[in-house]
Chains A and B, each alone.
Chain A
């Protein structure tokens, strides 16, 4: 898929930026390029969002484009559908992963099915931003990883950036996309800094960011992951390198539809696969990757696929989350297992 975007002002801004700021910049850029882009959600205006991702946007674009909504998630998603029918491109913010469920009916029954129902006569280009994942010491409903549930819904794209640069690029692509996109943001990475190139999308046509990306090349083991776990897996790969194990790390970036080409190619030369996510394992993205690799590259596998993930439990009280969340050691343990087989 190639995405066409309009030209912006070329800059060479490579100053370090937090993940949250990179997302903020993407929103700002999208709103400057297209006045049909609206931001709506709870506390996104005056407060700038609970994570400050929309900081300053209402001040600069006005209350009619950065809309503080009543506290109702179905209302946010459901009215965004209507705004999209009207020609707007709404970017909705759900405050936390665990609060998306009141809007889930609208996502499944309307957002995902409008195009199919009307055979393309109606479309709802909209983005549903959801901060997700654990590791911030939060109370219940603030640390969940529900992305697999969304991937089971046909008709929506599900993506998750892992770095500030991808946050910037992928959010711009999501807003420009004519399909509805559920955009999962790894919230414990919001305050991490990295250089963000802000002119990467200023050319007429750029490669899609909704594709898997090899983050680190290696020949011994393939580790596939996404979102908040990418950093963890890269650290594990670094540690493994000290033991002369070359780990290839693939960041899925797009969770639905999956882009498994790079994964299959990698497995064909490493023969060993570990899939990492902090979501519960059962019927999850890690299951899907394992199943698809088994279907399409079974004879390349030298060892059974190993998965590392959250337990099949609700998210635990935060004081035990260091034990719950897959860390570097658990990834290394899985790498050991595929190498030992």
Chain B
């Protein structure tokens, strides 16, 4: 059965396949006009900084909270930029920038409660910030001194998952466990219960694990929010080539609610995620949220977006910047003054300096790291290999050999 296409959808479809004159092949103007034309997307703060009312998602937010969200986003962007710079200067082997996705991450991260658990992919530095992971703890993974620098249980922020989509199933299982434990809350007590949020991108929606996660979550009524940051690009592959329908509508195929939110609107993301978490905590999960946003920088520092997308597209999305609209709103409504903004900028610079300084102190791990925690107890085989490595390293120190940094010391 084919659903009829509405006029709005027709506009969206057409606007997302704009052939750009003079560019060979099928250049695509991703996202931009779809945002403007999309009445289905929840928005509470326009790109111009005006509050917008939404019939379903009212948000009563204090000036202090609003200033807090602004500060979060500025600080997160600042250390994200520092991460990029550190990679360019050879201090990190890689950085996965979040530029442009601050509202999607801070809005959803601040909607969570301490007992809730987040399963990230690998770009959720802003969610990490909200969960109380110190930004410096993100560095070891990207410097190559550890695989995960923070405590997942203490923060409720699970390790980064680099295999696309894997974490969606792990998070679903965790949420199934929350339900088995009877950790769901009660309708009459809004503070009770706990839920899981799993983060993934538009590219991941093509993975089988995301599909299976949604099937299992639906089958077992798992209290999980599927939080998809649609940043329009899976490295070079645009979302249009991965889905014929807006991603949030896939949820209906699994029998649970899906909702699209302006992912550059921190207030809308906060309100919608709070609602989704409350649904899950009170036993009405799962819920899918598609945060419609844009990856303003490269996939990672190893990527070169100029090979597959137009700079114009990025320029256009700058008008939808998630931080600028809050800044304008705070200024115009008199909820923040110059002194506040200057202070946030100083805090951001201070954080960046601390981030950088910490990065430079991260030492290479010792030989023993190779063998640690493969199993709960070291096996005889691994102990033998470690002993042999130690013997060799001792030899190497006694009689220096030509140890290649490319090929290891074996």
Could you tell me which residues of chain A, from 69 to 85, have a CB within 8 Å of some CB in chain B? 69-70, 72, 74-75, 77-85
Interface centre among A80, A115, A121, A178 (most CB of B within 10 A): A121
Chain A residue contacts of B146, Cβ below 8 A: 119
Could you tell me which residues of chain B, from 358 to 409, have a CB within 8 Å of some CB in chain A? 372-377, 379-382
Q: Does B23 contact A (CB under 8 A)?
A: no
Q: Does A154 contact B (CB under 8 A)?
A: yes
- Beyond A1-B377, A72-B212, A88-B180, is A121–B169 a contact (Cβ under 8 Å)? no
Query: A105-113, A165-173, A212-220: which one contacts chain B?
Result: A105-113
Chain B residue contacts of A38, Cβ below 8 A: 180
Say how far B196's CB is from chain A's closest CB, in angstroms.
Answer: 8
**In the bound complex, do residue B376 and residue A74 qualify as a contact, i.e. CB atoms below 8 Å apart?**
no
Q: Does B178 contact A (CB under 8 A)?
A: yes
- Beyond A86-B173, A257-B381, is A74–B212 a contact (Cβ under 8 Å)? yes
Bound complex: CA of A115 vs CA of B213, how far in Å? 22
Q: Does B280 contact A (CB under 8 A)?
A: no
In-complex Cβ contact of B173 among A80, A115, A154, A157 (8 A): A80
Q: What 0/1 readout, one digit per residue, does chain A (185-214) give for beta carbons within 8 Å of chain B?
A: 000000000000000000000000000000
**In the bound complex, do residue B152 and residue A82 qualify as a contact, i.e. CB atoms below 8 Å apart?**
no
**In the bound complex, do residue A115 and residue B178 qualify as a contact, i.e. CB atoms below 8 Å apart?**
no
The secondary structure that dominates the B interface is helix
**In the bound complex, do residue B152 and residue A121 qualify as a contact, i.e. CB atoms below 8 Å apart?**
yes
- Considering only CB atoms, which chain B residue lies closest to A154 in the complex? B374
Q: Does B177 contact A (CB under 8 A)?
A: yes
**In the bound complex, do residue B379 and residue A257 qualify as a contact, i.e. CB atoms below 8 Å apart?**
yes
Chain A residue contacts of B175, Cβ below 8 A: 82
Say how far A151's CB is from chain B's closest CB, in angstroms.
Answer: 11
- Considering only CB atoms, which chain B residue lies closest to A80 in the complex? B173
**In the bound complex, do residue B375 and residue A78 qualify as a contact, i.e. CB atoms below 8 Å apart?**
no
Q: Does B242 contact A (CB under 8 A)?
A: no
Chain A residue contacts of B302, Cβ below 8 A: none
In-complex Cβ contact of B148 among A64, A70, A87, A117 (8 A): A117
**In the bound complex, do residue A116 and residue B177 qualify as a contact, i.e. CB atoms below 8 Å apart?**
no
**In the bound complex, do residue A82 and residue B177 qualify as a contact, i.e. CB atoms below 8 Å apart?**
yes
Bound complex: CA of A205 vs CA of B344, how far in Å? 60
Bound complex: CA of A83 vs CA of B180, how far in Å? 9
Interface centre among B161, B178, B209 (most CB of A within 10 A): B209
Tally of A-B residue pairs with Cβ under 8 A?
Answer: 133
Chain B residue contacts of A70, Cβ below 8 A: 212, 215-216, 219
Q: Does A179 contact B (CB under 8 A)?
A: yes
Bound complex: CA of A210 vs CA of B263, how far in Å? 52
Say how far A197's CB is from chain B's closest CB, in angstroms.
Answer: 27
Could you tell me which residues of chain B, from 294 to 335, have a CB within 8 Å of some CB in chain A? none
Say how far A156's CB is from chain B's closest CB, in angstroms.
Answer: 9
**In the bound complex, do residue B178 and residue A86 qualify as a contact, i.e. CB atoms below 8 Å apart?**
yes
Tell me how many residues of B have a C-beta within 8 Å of chain A.
42
Chain A residue contacts of B4, Cβ below 8 A: none
**In the bound complex, do residue A106 and residue B169 qualify as a contact, i.e. CB atoms below 8 Å apart?**
yes
Chain B residue contacts of A74, Cβ below 8 A: 169, 208-209, 212
Bound complex: CA of A109 vs CA of B147, how far in Å? 13
Q: What 0/1 readout, one digit per residue, does chain B (193-233) give for beta carbons within 8 Å of chain A?
A: 00000000000000011001101100110000000000000
Q: Does A123 contact B (CB under 8 A)?
A: yes
Q: Does A314 contact B (CB under 8 A)?
A: no
**In the bound complex, do residue A105 and residue B148 qualify as a contact, i.e. CB atoms below 8 Å apart?**
no
Say how far A88's CB is from chain B's closest CB, in angstroms.
Answer: 6
**In the bound complex, do residue B216 and residue A86 qualify as a contact, i.e. CB atoms below 8 Å apart?**
no
Q: Does A45 contact B (CB under 8 A)?
A: no
Bound complex: CA of A122 vs CA of B220, how far in Å? 24
Bound complex: CA of A72 vs CA of B173, how far in Å? 13
Chain A residue contacts of B181, Cβ below 8 A: 86
**In the bound complex, do residue A85 and residue B177 qualify as a contact, i.e. CB atoms below 8 Å apart?**
yes
Q: Does A258 contact B (CB under 8 A)?
A: yes
Chain B residue contacts of A83, Cβ below 8 A: 173-174, 176-177, 180
**In the bound complex, do residue B212 and residue A78 qualify as a contact, i.e. CB atoms below 8 Å apart?**
yes
Bound complex: CA of A63 vs CA of B357, how far in Å? 53
- Beyond A69-B216, A122-B153, is A82–B169 a contact (Cβ under 8 Å)? yes
Q: Does A102 contact B (CB under 8 A)?
A: yes
Say how far A165's CB is from chain B's closest CB, in angstroms.
Answer: 25
**In the bound complex, do residue B171 and residue A155 qualify as a contact, i.e. CB atoms below 8 Å apart?**
no
In-complex Cβ contact of A109 among B153, B166, B171, B215 (8 A): B166
**In the bound complex, do residue A79 and residue B173 qualify as a contact, i.e. CB atoms below 8 Å apart?**
yes
Chain B residue contacts of A155, Cβ below 8 A: 374-375
Chain B residue contacts of A120, Cβ below 8 A: 372-373, 376
Q: Does A313 contact B (CB under 8 A)?
A: no
In-complex Cβ contact of A115 among B163, B374, B381 (8 A): B374
In-complex Cβ contact of A81 among B169, B208, B219, B380 (8 A): B169
Chain A residue contacts of B372, Cβ below 8 A: 116, 119-120
Bound complex: CA of A64 vs CA of B221, how far in Å? 13
- Beyond A83-B176, A117-B148, A119-B146, is A75–B169 a contact (Cβ under 8 Å)? yes
Say how far B160's CB is from chain A's closest CB, in angstroms.
Answer: 9
**In the bound complex, do residue B159 and residue A75 qualify as a contact, i.e. CB atoms below 8 Å apart?**
no
Could you tell me which residues of chain B, from 104 to 159, have a CB within 8 Å of some CB in chain A? 146-148, 151-153, 158-159
Chain A residue contacts of B177, Cβ below 8 A: 82-83, 85-88
Could you tell me which residues of chain A, from 254 to 284, have a CB within 8 Å of some CB in chain B? 257-258
Chain B residue contacts of A84, Cβ below 8 A: 173
Say how far A173's CB is from chain B's closest CB, in angstroms.
Answer: 13
**In the bound complex, do residue A105 and residue B166 qualify as a contact, i.e. CB atoms below 8 Å apart?**
yes
Bound complex: CA of A160 vs CA of B311, how far in Å? 57
- Beyond A117-B148, A119-B373, A258-B381, is A75–B170 a contact (Cβ under 8 Å)? no
Bound complex: CA of A157 vs CA of B375, how far in Å? 9
Q: Does A118 contact B (CB under 8 A)?
A: yes
**In the bound complex, do residue A78 and residue B215 qualify as a contact, i.e. CB atoms below 8 Å apart?**
no
**In the bound complex, do residue A78 and residue B170 qualify as a contact, i.e. CB atoms below 8 Å apart?**
yes
Q: Does B172 contact A (CB under 8 A)?
A: yes
Chain A residue contacts of B215, Cβ below 8 A: 70, 72, 75
**In the bound complex, do residue B374 and residue A82 qualify as a contact, i.e. CB atoms below 8 Å apart?**
no
**In the bound complex, do residue B374 and residue A75 qualify as a contact, i.e. CB atoms below 8 Å apart?**
no
Give 7 nearest A-B pairs by CB, closest first: A82-B173, A78-B169, A86-B177, A79-B173, A75-B212, A82-B174, A117-B147
CB pairs A–B below 8 angstroms (25 shown): A38-B180, A69-B216, A70-B215, A75-B172, A78-B169, A78-B213, A79-B172, A79-B216, A81-B173, A82-B169, A86-B177, A87-B177, A88-B180, A102-B208, A105-B166, A105-B209, A110-B161, A115-B376, A118-B147, A118-B159, A120-B376, A121-B153, A122-B153, A257-B380, A258-B381
Which residues of A does B touch, CB under 8 Å?
Answer: 1, 38, 64, 67, 69-70, 72, 74-75, 77-88, 102, 105-106, 109-110, 115-123, 154-155, 157, 178-179, 257-258
With A85-B158, A115-B373, A116-B374 already in contact, 5 other A-B pairs whose C-beta atoms are closer than 8 Å: A74-B208, A75-B215, A155-B375, A157-B375, A179-B375
